[in-house]
Structure 1
Amino acid sequence: MSDLKLTAEPRTQFGKGAARKIRRDHKIPAVMYGHGSDPVHITLPGHDAMLALKSSNALLTIVLDGKEQLALAKDVQRDPIKPVIEHVDLVIVRKGEKVVVDVPVHLEGEAGPETVVTTDHTSLQLEVEATSIPEHVVVSVEGAEAGTQILAGQVELPEGAALVTDAEALVVNVTAQVTAEALEAELSEAEAEAGIEREESDEAAGSAPAAGDAAAEAGTAADEA
């Protein structure tokens, strides 16, 4: 059961102006819907709601007019600049009901030496009980060698969770680290194919004697002979 309890107030005024006034009062406009019921427009306490909605898939107990209702935070609209929540969509859920949510992927461990670990899927879609939504799923890359690929179907899921994401979807890819020499060779090959000629570097030019200097040195040697 959710231990994130928020006391809400009914909302009767709508529009941008009303929403701005609600936020000025350190509250958050929200709407709660689901299970065939009419949408209920409410306001949430700003500070408490910000804390409760720090984690994704937050399951909340909304207290409205003395009655409690379980709700899942479905859409949280945040200000792109300020640390402010502009609006929240809440979906009514019931104890024992299953929901489909996106659960973040959390990597653990260190892959083998000289490897690069890439996460292709940062989250997996799972079907779980509304009251048992995991914070994340753990994928271990401990000691993984170059060439290792971990698919969605290979990820160990929490008890009671079912995978909705395609089981063949690539989650983690471990590749060999590219050395500076290999990168330089690849760049040179690409430039050659494109017909690009590199200019001689200042260092290389400085290490080679100029044509005039070489001729002068040759003339001096001849005079001495």
Structure 2
Amino acid sequence: MAEVKIPSEFRKEFGKGAARRIRRENKVPAVVYGHGDDPIHVTLPGHDLFLALKTPNVLIGLDLDGRKELVIPKAVQRDPLKGFVEHVDLLLVKRGEKVNVEIPIHTEGELAPGGNLLEHVLNALPVEAEATHIPEAVSVSIEGLEAGASILAKDISLPKGTSLAVEDDTVVLQIVAAQAEEPTEDEEAEEAEPAAAEAPAED
């Protein structure tokens, strides 16, 4: 995974008011932590961070007062309506260090005919990987799978150096049988009309 370099500034003001002022300047408050060090409070350029976070588990290079550090995002807080980044927690990592992350699951192929549904039991796969070689995603084939089939964590091929951080028999995806649709009110009315017409007239 390529490293994305983002400039950072130390943050000395805290609280909601300070955070709002930072965001008005199109910057994002962030906390850098890990390796037993005290948390470091910084601000990051909003646009650069937004672009970087489009890549899951992106490796970010920061200059912290002359110290070159590598971090990965661990918690991203976004505005629930507009979607812009409000705050981010960044974890310090080192080359060669193993970290636990969750990577996206991409599916390939088509299910067997029948209108069955694909259910993502896990939206992302927990794995352990070297900090500078975290896979961007894993691909899983669902070609021809029928209702009742499932894909377990151990069924997914992982790149060299990456291992599962969940039990082998954890269900990741499963195929669910299509549900019969409930009749609409109009359909129920149409079924009732012939029955009413066939009913014997009263004397």
TM over 0.5: yes
| 1:200 Cα offset (Å) | 9.5
1:205, CA displacement in angstroms? 4.2
Deviation of 1:206 (Å): 4.5
Q: Residue in 1 aligned with 2:159?
A: 158
Equivalent residue, structure 1, for 2:132: 131
| Aligned pairs for 1:97-108 within 5 A | 97-108=97-108
Structure 1 counterpart of 2:174: 173
Which whole-Å CA distance do the structure 1 matches of 2:111 and 2:195 have between them?
43
Gaps of 5+ in 1: 185-197, 216-225
Structure 2, unpaired ranges of 5+:
none
Equivalent position SS for 1:158: coil
The answer for the alignment partner of 1:223 in structure 2 is none
Quick one: which amino acid aligns to residue 73 of structure 1? P
Whose radius of gyration is greater, 1 or 2? 1
The 5 Å alignment of 1:9-24 reads 9-24=9-24
Question: Aligned partners of 2:82, 2:176: CA distance in 1, in Å?
Answer: 38
The residue aligned with 1:59 is 59
Which residue number corresponds to residue 118 of structure 2? 117
Work out the number of aligned pairs and report it: 198
Identity among equivalent positions (%) equals 47
Greater share of helix: 1
For residue 204 of structure 1, what is the amino acid of its counterpart?
A: P
Quote how far apart the aligned CAs of 1:46 are: 0.8
Q: Deviation at 1:102?
A: 1.1
| Greater displacement, 92-101 / 63-72 | 63-72
Aligned counterparts of 1:73 and 1:208: Cα–Cα separation in 2:
70
Q: Does residue 207 in structure 1 map to residue 197 in structure 2?
A: yes
Paired AA for residue 113 in structure 1: P
Amino acid at match of 1:11: R
Q: Return the letter of the residue paired with 2:17.
A: G
**1:37 equivalent in alignment to 2:37:** yes
